[in-house]
Amino acid sequence: MRILKQRNGQFIMIAVLMIAIMMVSIAAIMYSAGTYYRHEKWEEYLTIVDNLKIGSSHLFEISLADFTRTFDEDILVTNLNKWQTNLMAAYPGLGIALTYSNATIGNGSRSVTSLTSNTIHFSDASAKLNIDIASVGLEGYAFVSSAFLGVILNATYVNGNDLLLYVAVEKENSEPVTGLKKADFFVNGTSLPNHPSSQLTHFYQTEGNVLRIIYQLTIPDLTPQLSSVSVAVVDNRDIKVTANSDVT
Amino acid sequence: MGKPRNAKGQMHVIETILASLVIVFALAFVNIFAVTPYSARYETGDLEKRGHNILHDLDEKRLLTRFVYEQEWENLTAALTVSLPTDVYFNLTVFDLEGNVVNNMEIRYGPSEVFSTSNMTASIQYIVPGYQTNFDPRILRLELVRG
């Protein structure tokens, strides 16, 4: 009798253990599968949001580039309204809704904090955007999108009649603009290559935490001497900004 | 004394066989629910992520809009070819907002029939708003298939 009792006990123990292991295994697999698919869903709309963010950023650059040529102040709002419709065509069935507020576009100037005696002249466009994607339950994803191009200008005469221009160019987040060529600069409305014997070099300057690339434009023997000068810069996005300065 | 020992030994053998069967059954049962990372169900998701990341990277570097609006289709094909693994075939089509195909040459790597025959084609839709001063959106559809 004792032996029989032990046999039954062992078998039941093994069976119970097996069932327990099976239940735990199934639970673990179901959990990981569920987690994976939740993760996938998140990633799916993250990629769409990424596309919308970078696309919107390009839209601001395009609008600002257009504005700096046509001075059409409605261009940003017009393009944003079209973009809202275009997104629905690009992602049908997702229920994408893009809304915007505080849309501004224009030119301006302000003093530079790191270089207190200087003024930065800028062209900029910005707005607060909000994305809803109904199909994945995303509501109120808000971000600020903007485009900016600024110029700090210093002008002086050296060696008699040689006009020397120091031009610092920066874009969004005070990031210096690199790779500008002579054809990207216009002095008093004339392209720099059209000024005889003009030269373009550059050097780096650090002001606190801010690194600037200073473009040095030289126009030799410019007579009669100017009391003020205007320099326009066009970057690789076709955004134009114009700075004015007295010549010292 | 000999018989009870034999009976005990036989019982252990039976128990072991039964326990093995239970384990095999449990493993087989659990395997029905298992979805491995190499299964077809994951495959298109992985390709979609990869495809989107490549388009996003090209767009961030301002290359995608240049290729599309300057119609540099060979450069776009080359950029996608070097960005994707060699065993991944792609087919990119550029549409305007009316749904007309804009690319006048194929932007493709791999045999054309693979995209119509494969049942695991990943498809990515991507929109670009315009280029330089021109707001004129284009919709890109990138299809990816493992070779």
What is the pLDDT confidence band of residue A187, given thresholds at 50, 70 and 90? Answer: very high
Average pLDDT, chain B: 84
**ipTM of the assembly?**
0.76
CB-based contact, B21 to chain A, within 8 Å: no
Enumerate the residues of chain B whose CB falls inside 8 A of the CB of residue A44: 48
Question: Which pLDDT does position A179 carry in this prediction?
Answer: 92
Q: Which of A69, A82, A90 lies closest to B139 in CB terms?
A: A90
Structure tokens, A96: 């994408």
Dist. CA A8–CA A24, nearest whole Å: 24
Same domain, B86 and B124: yes
Q: Render pLDDT for B23-52 as a digit per residue (tens, 0 to 9).
A: 777 777 766 666 555 555 556 778 888 899
CB B90 within 8 A of CB B143: yes
> CB-CB: which of B30, B127, B132 is closest to A55?
B127
Return the half-sphere exposure (C-beta side, CA atoms, 13 A cut-off) of residue A87: 24
Q: Residues A141-186: pLDDT tens digits?
A: 999 999 999 999 999 999 888 999 999 999 998 899 999 999 999 9
By DSSP bridging, strand B134-146 and strand B122-131 are antiparallel
B52–A62 C-beta distance less than 8 A: no
* Confidence class for position A106, pLDDT limits 50, 70, 90: very high
Mean pLDDT of B95-114: 92
B1/B50 same-domain check: no
- Average pLDDT in the A107-115 region? 79
Q: Give me the amino acid identity at A26.
A: I
Are B86 and B126 found together in one domain? yes
pLDDT in tens, B111-132: 988 888 887 888 899 999 999 9
Contacts of A80 (CB under 8 A, 6+ apart): A59, A63, A100, A103, A127
Provide the percentage of residues in chain B whose pLDDT is more than 90.
50
Judge if B65 and B120 occupy the same domain.
Answer: yes
| Closest residue, chain B, to A236 (C-alpha) | B132
Instruction: Test A89 with B97 for CB contact under 8 angstroms.
Output: yes
The answer to whether residues B136 and B82 belong to one domain is: yes
Residue A5 has pLDDT above 60, yes or no: no
For residue B7, what are the CA distances in angstroms to A127, A193, B43? Answer: 86, 106, 54
All residues of chain B having their beta carbon less than 8 Å from the beta carbon of residue A55 are: 59, 127-129
Closest CA to B129 of A141, A96, A63: A63
* Structural domain for B13, as ranges: 1-34
For residues B57 and B26, membership in a common domain is answered with no
pLDDT bin (cut points 50, 70, 90) of residue B1 is very low
pLDDT of B104 above 70: yes
For residues A150 and A144, give the distance between their C-alpha atoms in angstroms, rounded to a whole number.
19
Residues B47 and B81 in one domain: yes
Neighbours of A235 (CB within 10 A): 18
Domain shared by B52 and B95, yes or no: yes
Strand A96-111 and strand A119-133: pairing?
antiparallel
Q: Are residues B27 and B98 in the same domain?
A: no
Check CB contact under 8 Å for A63 and B131.
no
Backbone angles phi and psi of A213, in degrees to 5:
-100, 120
CATH code for the domain defined by A151-246: 2.60.40
The secondary structure of A77-120 as a DSSP string is HHHHHHHHHHHHHHSTTS-EEEEEEEEEEEEEEEE-SSSTT-EE
Res B82 pLDDT > 60: yes
Indicate which CATH number applies to the domain containing B71.
3.30.450
Whether the ω angle into residue A224 lies within 30 degrees of 0, i.e. cis, is yes
- Torsion angle of alpha carbons A129, A134, A136, A141, nearest 10°? 20
In chain B, how many domains are there? 2
Residues B79, B125 share a domain: yes
CA dist., res. A87 & res. A100, Å (int): 14
Higher pLDDT, B5 or A246: A246
Same structural domain, B55 and B90: yes
What is the residue-wise DSSP string for chain A?
-HHHHHHHHHHHHHHHHHHHHHHHHHHHHHHHHHHHHHHHHHHHHHHHHHHHHHHHHHHHHHHHHHHHHH--TTHHHHHHHHHHHHHHHHSTTS-EEEEEEEEEEEEEEEE-SSSTT-EEEEEEEEEEEEEEEGGGTEEEEEEEEEEEEEEEEEEEEETTTEEEEEEEEE-GGGPBPP---GGGEEETTEEGGGSTT-EEEEEEEEETTEEEEEEEEEETT--SPPSEEEEEEE-TT--EEEEEEEB-
Same domain, B29 and B45: no
Segment A12-44, tens digit of pLDDT: 777 777 777 777 777 777 766 666 555 555 667
